[in-house]
């Protein structure tokens, strides 16, 4: 009886096994999506823009020239105090050259136009040294070369020291016109923060009657 029961079981299981094998076979026969093994495409930057060529027909850019520093005075002057007599005597004031009748000379360049109230050293103003108003225009020149007086070299504007700068002011009042001149020693540009700038001498001059700078102007009384 057990043999009779076994055969039908085997007969019943056969179709199920066959179906399973059929499904597995069909799955194996389906095409598979290929795996992409190619390397990724390289990322390249766009080509640089071509260098622009200058336009030969374009007009050049015009730039404003730096402002010119006008001299406060030019011409010939007589000494107006004993210090002026000693350091230069009669004075000739030119565009870049200052010459004394006693042989003293200064080759200069204009570096600034300041005011009497400005400081040439900490706490020291041009107004104090030159006895002018705080609003008085002051022409500042750098001394490039200096020659002392021929007969008395010790009477040089800054004595035994080299003159670094000369400051000039032209003052006009009821008595006429006066040229104020001071010498400063030191290499720093005179300013409140300057180091080593000191006053050497303070002088004054009067335009010579009939001179180039005194034409049509009243000459200060001695």
Q: Where are the domains of the chain?
A: 75-207
H helix runs in 101-180, sequence order:
126-130
Q: Give the dihedral of Cα atoms 97, 88, 115, 96; nearest 10 deg.
A: 0
pLDDT-based confidence at 177, cuts 50/70/90?
Answer: very high
In terms of average pLDDT, the best of 4-13, 18-27, 32-41, 138-147 is: 138-147
Query: Which tokens is 205 given?
Result: 């001059």
- Mean pLDDT calculated for residue range 132-143: 97
pLDDT in tens, 197-207: 999 999 999 99
pLDDT value at position 39? 59
pLDDT-based confidence at 58, cuts 50/70/90?
Answer: low
pLDDT value at position 221? 47
Using an 8 Å Cβ cutoff, are 76 and 97 in contact? no
Contacts of 189 (CB under 8 A, 6+ apart): 111, 112, 165
Name the average pLDDT for the chain. 81
pLDDT-based confidence at 219, cuts 50/70/90?
Answer: very low
pLDDT value at position 220? 46
pLDDT value at position 217? 47
Return the SS3 of 139. Answer: strand
Long-range Cβ pairs for the range 77-80 (8 Å, 24+): 77/179, 77/205, 77/206, 77/207, 77/208, 77/211, 77/213, 78/205, 78/206, 78/207, 78/208, 79/203, 79/205, 80/178, 80/179, 80/203, 80/204, 80/205, 80/206, 80/220, 80/222
**What are the φ and ψ backbone dihedral angles of 27, each rounded to 5 degrees?**
-65, -40
18-54 per-residue burial string, b: 16 or more CB within 10 A, e: under 16: eeeeeeeeeeeeeeeeeeeeeeeeeeeeeeeeeeeee
- Mean pLDDT calculated for residue range 58-79: 79
**Does 19 have pLDDT greater than 90?**
no
**Does 24 have pLDDT greater than 60?**
no
Q: Give the dihedral of Cα atoms 164, 142, 155, 178; nearest 10 deg.
A: -130
Rounded Cα gap, residues 209 and 214, in angstroms:
6
Share of the chain above pLDDT 90, in %: 60
Of 150, 147, 155, 204, residue with least CA distance to 181:
204
Return the SS3 of 179. Answer: strand
pLDDT value at position 68? 81
pLDDT value at position 1? 47
Lowest mean pLDDT among 35-44, 132-141, 158-167, 171-180: 35-44
């Amino acid at each position: 009886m057990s043999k009779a029961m076994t055969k039908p079981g085997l007969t019943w299981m056969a179709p199920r096994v066959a179906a399973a094998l059929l499904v597995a076979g069909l799955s194996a026969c389906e095409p598979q999506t290929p795996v992409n093994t190619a390397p990724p495409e390289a990322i390249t930057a766009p080509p640089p823009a071509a260098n622009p060529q200058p336009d030969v027909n374009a007009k050049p850019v015009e730039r404003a020239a730096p402002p010119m520093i006008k001299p406060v005075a030019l011409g010939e002057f007589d000494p107006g105090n004993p210090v002026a007599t000693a350091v230069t005597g009669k004075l000739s004031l030119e565009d870049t050259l200052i010459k004394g009748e006693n042989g003293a000379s200064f080759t200069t360049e204009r570096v600034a136009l300041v005011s009497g109230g400005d400081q040439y050293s900490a706490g020291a103003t041009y107004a104090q040294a030159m006895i002018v108003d705080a609003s008085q225009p002051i022409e500042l020149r750098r001394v490039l070369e200096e020659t002392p007086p021929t007969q008395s070299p010790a009477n040089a504007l800054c004595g035994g020291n080299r003159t670094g700068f000369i400051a000039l002011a032209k003052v006009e009042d009821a008595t006429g016109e006066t040229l104020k001149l001071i010498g400063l020693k030191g290499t720093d540009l005179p300013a409140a923060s300057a180091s080593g700038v000191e006053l050497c001498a303070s002088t004054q001059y009067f335009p010579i009657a009939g001179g180039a700078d005194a034409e049509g102007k009243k000459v200060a009384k001695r």
